[in-house]
Chains A and B, each alone.
Chain A
Amino acid sequence: MKAGERLARDPNIRAAFREADERLNSAWERVSRRTFLKLTGLAGGGLTLAACSVKGTDPVSTEPGKDYEFNEFVNVGSDGTILIYSKTPEIGQGIKTSFPMIVAEELDADWNDVVVEQARIDTAVYGRQRAGGSRSIATAWNQLREAGAAARLMLRRAAAETWQVPVDECLTANSVVTHEATGRRLTYGELADKAAALPVPDKAELRLKARDEYTLIGERITGVDNEKVVTGQPLFGTDQSLPGMLYASYSKCPATGGRVAAANLDDIRALPGIRDAFVLEGNDLVSELMPGVAIIGDSTWETQQARAHLSIDWDETDASKDSLSSITAEAARLSKEPGAEVLYEFGDVEQAFTGAARIHEAFYSYPFVSHAPLEPQNCTAWYRDGAIEIWAPTQSPDQAIGSVANVLGIPREKVTLHVTRVGGGFGRRLMNDYVCEVAAIARQVGAPVKLQWTREDDMAHDFYRPAGYHALRAALDTSGSLSAWQDHFITFTHDGKAPVRGGDMRPGEFPEGIIDDYKVTQTLLPLGTPCGPWRSPRSNAIAFAVQSFIHEMANVAERDHVDFLLELMGEPRWLDPGNPRAMNTGRAAAVIKLAAEKAGWGQPLPEGRGLGLAFYFSHAGHFAEVADVSVDADRKLTVHRVTVAGDVGPIVNMSGAENQCQGSVMDGLSTTLGLEITIENGRVQESNFHQYPIMRMHNAPIVDVHFIQSDYPPTGLGEPALPPLAPAVCNAIFAATGQRVRTLPLSKEGFKV
């Protein structure tokens, strides 16, 4: 099968996006209902037990040193330790701290009593257990609140039974139940035995806290694993070790889709420290197992060194032949044409342009980029007796289990997967190719084995953020207002039919719904290089073109950018009424005003220095950012400060939330300044950080973060602060120099950083 067709039908790439694109609808309700049915079922079974222990008013006699399970999230120990399970992989988004905070808030637990562990992977019990799409908080918010509230009610009921007083008189705070009238108090630890045996309350019996009752949510809480991180404890995938463990490397064709025609396996097997070398044919899915040569040895270094002696003849009949230089030339040529198909059309764009006072055009482009998480892909596995146990740094553990079962041809029940801490996700680890590789290797090896990719493997075998090209055209009416918008979007296809995932323009992309006369056309270029979700898929790139061009239009109209944007937003309204994940123009206007105010918008600045603003809505988050930039006579660029204003509803962990925004700005800036993946003859040309210069500390600006904590349900923060960064910086460069940047990265546009 040709490289492109293989990618087009890859179910894992589709799945990674499908879920991220799903509207909120009632995802959490589905999950919570299922979970509570299960809880209710458990409670039914526990009723007989409960009847014995709860009937009397015996003094509480919690057994020392025991743990009592209240539900799938909450265990309380007789010593007062409150164990809260975090159900989703920790990839740096801080979920292992913020999820338990939500449970602890409704439980009225003293945070000092809380210990957190990673939950086992069991989606029948936990529902969604994936880290992606900035959806964790939104989808788990009610589930976690209800879990905490249910356990709290059980503790109050146990105290009421013990004291023979009404439950309403039993109040909770800081892991203690008190009865004010009689001055009695029992700790959660003292009540745990009795309380855990009570029936699980019905959902309708729970009273969740109002926002003004919060004592923990919204506070600054340091990460629950921080002490382990700073003392170098084994937390990550690559830190796993098993008795008798062997080490593996895996060499695939540098052009996606190549097969092993021949390899000098005997030479490799004879090398010191090498146990075996063999070919895996794979299952023709890039997201699972592609052909390659596995080398098994006694240490990581020996398996990597042996690769220097490995000689593979690749059959590249079906491999990618992509060449970025030809792609770029073709895109430039196509930009002059109207577009092969109409993707969206509202109003009458031709009429609007005909009657326009001013028309302006520009061509924008952005490059392929790699995820480059700092922990290169790795995974550890042990195959025994037809079953496999895996320790995986993955964002999508449930999908990984399915993929491994598929690759090995065994039932899902035979796959046990432990999620480790993940040394950076950014969307890369929604794909589980490295998990499948070690699974196939482990079956052949018959011993515990750790697969370690090198940085070069990681950069050569990514699912890249696709490049893209926008021929934009817009009109102003006689009053200087934006009156028509047209975008010829040139993107890629694997199968000649549909755009690649992450290179597809979804409905509702700004400024759709804002401008009446709006049209997007699309042309597809063939591509054999794998693409996948990269932090804020689509938005991370489209925002650059769209929000830079809106600034261009404001300048053509000779109007202030903030005024121009606020006029576009118009009256406060939801652009897709009834969809809580849709954009709200009132929320948008509020963050634009706040960012401008906090950044000192309009203040006079010295020569060569400028402020640039951009707004973007993605992943249910409304964000505006202002970059303060100077460019000197040598075109050396300095980003002094970035002011961020965002509205994602109530903030769970203020420290974690600010950290995500600061990180998104750094990630966006790093990418804008100097990152590009180039491809020739199907081969990615960049191999390591000397050619893919992730931003370093001396280029890091101050990032000021401000939240509007609206009353809308909280949504995620891993992604939506990233898209506005690139246009904000480029708009600031224009303000400072008069030069418009329409191609990224900046280092290739003559700027020094």
Chain B
Amino acid sequence: MVRLDVNGRQHELDIADGSTPLLWVLRDQLGLVGTKFGCGGGYCGACTVHIDGRPVRSCLMPVSAAEGVAVTTIENLAAPDKTLHPLQRAWIEHDVPQCGYCQAGQLMSAAALLARNASPSDADIDSAMRGNLCRCGTYQRIRAAIHSAAKAINATGGES
């Protein structure tokens, strides 16, 4: 039995193998398929979730290690009333996605960045987003959208 706190909801799951990556528990057991499988080795960042607010590659995290911490996935990046996170709005305004497969992971990494650095420079962004591959090459728009979202957050005096 594994107890998980995912997006503020408590789950008791019948999982015999505690080494099962959190990614597959989210996707196959909880139906939270917004978190993506890209490589299984922590190279691409498509599976990025927040563990107590920090960006973590869920394909490498054993589910046993996710007990007693707060797991947040892309499905919970918007506010409970469905108001989009400023990053999600910026992603739409800048028309960032091409195929879109990496974007959940990109957004989770970007959200963790803005939570600790409200006005990141290009270098800060490049460094924070280094773990997230975009095979379609939307990097320029991701950078621009992060700057836009940072401005929007700062203009409203903090979290939206």
Question: Hey, which bits of chain A sit against chain B, CB under 8 A?
Answer: 91-94, 220-223, 225-227, 229-236, 238-239, 241, 247, 272, 299-302, 304-305, 372-376, 421-426, 452, 454-456, 655-656, 659-660, 662-667, 670, 688-690, 694-698, 700, 702-703
Q: Give the distance to chain A from B31, nearest Cβ to Cβ, in Å.
A: 7
A-B contact pairs, 28 of them (CB 8 A): A92-B136, A222-B93, A223-B95, A223-B100, A226-B91, A229-B100, A229-B103, A230-B88, A230-B92, A232-B77, A234-B33, A236-B101, A238-B33, A299-B20, A301-B17, A373-B135, A374-B102, A423-B100, A424-B99, A424-B136, A662-B141, A663-B136, A664-B137, A666-B137, A694-B133, A696-B133, A697-B130, A698-B126
The closest CB in chain B to the CB of A666 belongs to B137
The closest CB in chain B to the CB of A92 belongs to B99
| Contact assessment for A698 and B127 in the assembled complex, using a CB-CB cutoff below 8 Å | yes
A-B CB proximity, top 10 nearest: A232-B34, A666-B137, A92-B99, A423-B101, A232-B74, A700-B139, A92-B98, A689-B43, A229-B100, A698-B126
Give complex CA distance A235, B36 in Å.
Answer: 11
| Contact assessment for B92 and A227 in the assembled complex, using a CB-CB cutoff below 8 Å | yes
Give complex CA distance A279, B135 in Å.
Answer: 34
Contact pick for A696, options B20, B130, B140, CB 8 Å: B130
| Contact assessment for B37 and A301 in the assembled complex, using a CB-CB cutoff below 8 Å | no
| Contact assessment for A232 and B104 in the assembled complex, using a CB-CB cutoff below 8 Å | yes
Tell me if B46 counts as interface (CB < 8 A to partner A): yes
Which B residues are in CB contact (< 8 Å) with A91? Answer: 99
Give complex CA distance A689, B130 in Å.
Answer: 13
Give complex CA distance A91, B135 in Å.
Answer: 12
| Contact assessment for B137 and A665 in the assembled complex, using a CB-CB cutoff below 8 Å | yes
| Contact assessment for A375 and B99 in the assembled complex, using a CB-CB cutoff below 8 Å | yes
| Contact assessment for B97 and A229 in the assembled complex, using a CB-CB cutoff below 8 Å | yes
Tell me if B53 counts as interface (CB < 8 A to partner A): no
Give complex CA distance A697, B102 in Å.
Answer: 13
Give complex CA distance A299, B22 in Å.
Answer: 13
A-B contact count (CB 8 A): 193
| Contact assessment for B140 and A662 in the assembled complex, using a CB-CB cutoff below 8 Å | yes
The closest CB in chain B to the CB of A701 belongs to B140
Given A301-B28, A374-B102, check contact A454 B88 (CB 8 Å).
no
The closest CB in chain B to the CB of A378 belongs to B37
Which A residues are in CB contact (< 8 Å) with B21? Answer: 301
| Contact assessment for A232 and B97 in the assembled complex, using a CB-CB cutoff below 8 Å | no
Which A residues are in CB contact (< 8 Å) with B27? Answer: 300
Most buried by B among A93, A232, A695: A232
Q: Give the distance to chain A from B43, nearest Cβ to Cβ, in Å.
A: 4
What does the 1/0 interface line of B59-101 toward A look like (CB < 8 Å)?
Answer: 0000000000000011101100000100110011101111111
Given A232-B75, A700-B140, check contact A688 B126 (CB 8 Å).
no
Tell me if B56 counts as interface (CB < 8 A to partner A): no
Give complex CA distance A229, B88 in Å.
Answer: 9
Which B residues are in CB contact (< 8 Å) with A690? Answer: 41, 43
| Contact assessment for A422 and B133 in the assembled complex, using a CB-CB cutoff below 8 Å | no
Question: Hey, which bits of chain B sit against chain A, CB under 8 A?
Answer: 16-17, 20-21, 24, 27-29, 31-41, 43-44, 46, 73-75, 77-78, 84, 87-88, 91-93, 95-104, 107, 125-127, 129-130, 132-143
| Contact assessment for B75 and A703 in the assembled complex, using a CB-CB cutoff below 8 Å | no
Contact pick for B38, options A223, A375, A426, CB 8 Å: A375
Give complex CA distance A659, B136 in Å.
Answer: 9
Q: Give the distance to chain A from B139, nearest Cβ to Cβ, in Å.
A: 4
Give complex CA distance A204, B33 in Å.
Answer: 49
Apart from the given pairs A300-B24, A422-B99, A690-B43, 20 other A-B contacts in the complex at a CB distance below 8 Å: A92-B100, A229-B100, A230-B104, A239-B33, A373-B99, A374-B134, A375-B101, A376-B37, A423-B36, A455-B41, A656-B95, A659-B138, A659-B141, A666-B137, A667-B137, A689-B41, A689-B44, A694-B133, A697-B139, A700-B140
Give complex CA distance A690, B103 in Å.
Answer: 20
Give complex CA distance A664, B98 in Å.
Answer: 11
| Contact assessment for A424 and B135 in the assembled complex, using a CB-CB cutoff below 8 Å | yes
Give complex CA distance A349, B87 in Å.
Answer: 60
| Contact assessment for A694 and B135 in the assembled complex, using a CB-CB cutoff below 8 Å | yes
The closest CB in chain A to the CB of B29 belongs to A299
Q: Give the distance to chain B from A85, nearest Cβ to Cβ, in Å.
A: 20
| Contact assessment for A670 and B137 in the assembled complex, using a CB-CB cutoff below 8 Å | yes
The closest CB in chain A to the CB of B128 belongs to A697
| Contact assessment for A697 and B97 in the assembled complex, using a CB-CB cutoff below 8 Å | no
Which B residues are in CB contact (< 8 Å) with A305? Answer: 17
| Contact assessment for A689 and B92 in the assembled complex, using a CB-CB cutoff below 8 Å | no
Q: Give the distance to chain B from A673, nearest Cβ to Cβ, in Å.
A: 12
Which A residues are in CB contact (< 8 Å) with B134? Answer: 374, 666, 697
Give complex CA distance A666, B77 in Å.
Answer: 28
| Contact assessment for A230 and B91 in the assembled complex, using a CB-CB cutoff below 8 Å | yes
Given A231-B34, A455-B39, A700-B140, check contact A374 B98 (CB 8 Å).
no
Which B residues are in CB contact (< 8 Å) with A272? Answer: 16-17
Which B residues are in CB contact (< 8 Å) with A225? Answer: 97, 100
Give complex CA distance A233, B104 in Å.
Answer: 10
Give complex CA distance A375, B40 in Å.
Answer: 12
Which B residues are in CB contact (< 8 Å) with A426? Answer: 135
Q: Give the distance to chain B from A636, nearest Cβ to Cβ, in Å.
A: 15
Q: Give the distance to chain A from B103, nearest Cβ to Cβ, in Å.
A: 5
Given A230-B107, A231-B84, A689-B41, check contact A702 B140 (CB 8 Å).
yes
| Contact assessment for B39 and A662 in the assembled complex, using a CB-CB cutoff below 8 Å | no
| Contact assessment for B92 and A300 in the assembled complex, using a CB-CB cutoff below 8 Å | no
| Contact assessment for B34 and A374 in the assembled complex, using a CB-CB cutoff below 8 Å | no
Q: Give the distance to chain A from B30, nearest Cβ to Cβ, in Å.
A: 11
Which B residues are in CB contact (< 8 Å) with A421? Answer: 99-100
Give complex CA distance A272, B138 in Å.
Answer: 41
The closest CB in chain B to the CB of A226 belongs to B92
Given A231-B75, A689-B133, check contact A238 B36 (CB 8 Å).
yes
| Contact assessment for B98 and A94 in the assembled complex, using a CB-CB cutoff below 8 Å | yes
Which A residues are in CB contact (< 8 Å) with B107? Answer: 230
| Contact assessment for B95 and A659 in the assembled complex, using a CB-CB cutoff below 8 Å | yes
Most buried by A among B97, B98, B130, B138: B98
Which B residues are in CB contact (< 8 Å) with A670? Answer: 137
Which B residues are in CB contact (< 8 Å) with A304? Answer: 40
Give complex CA distance A452, B36 in Å.
Answer: 12
Q: Give the distance to chain A from B39, nearest Cβ to Cβ, in Å.
A: 4
Give complex CA distance A399, B155 in Å.
Answer: 52
Q: Give the distance to chain B from A373, nearest Cβ to Cβ, in Å.
A: 6
Give complex CA distance A655, B91 in Å.
Answer: 13
Give complex CA distance A659, B98 in Å.
Answer: 7
Which A residues are in CB contact (< 8 Å) with B39? Answer: 455, 688-689
Q: Give the distance to chain B from A251, nearest Cβ to Cβ, in Å.
A: 15
Which A residues are in CB contact (< 8 Å) with B138? Answer: 659, 662-663, 666
The closest CB in chain B to the CB of A423 belongs to B101
Which A residues are in CB contact (< 8 Å) with B127? Answer: 698
Q: Give the distance to chain B from A290, nearest Cβ to Cβ, in Å.
A: 23
The closest CB in chain B to the CB of A371 belongs to B135
Give complex CA distance A27, B90 in Å.
Answer: 39
| Contact assessment for B95 and A220 in the assembled complex, using a CB-CB cutoff below 8 Å | yes
Give complex CA distance A696, B138 in Å.
Answer: 10
| Contact assessment for A222 and B95 in the assembled complex, using a CB-CB cutoff below 8 Å | yes
Give complex CA distance A702, B92 in Å.
Answer: 20
Which B residues are in CB contact (< 8 Å) with A234? Answer: 33-34
Given A663-B138, A689-B133, A700-B140, check contact A374 B75 (CB 8 Å).
no
Give complex CA distance A123, B28 in Å.
Answer: 34
Give complex CA distance A695, B130 in Å.
Answer: 10
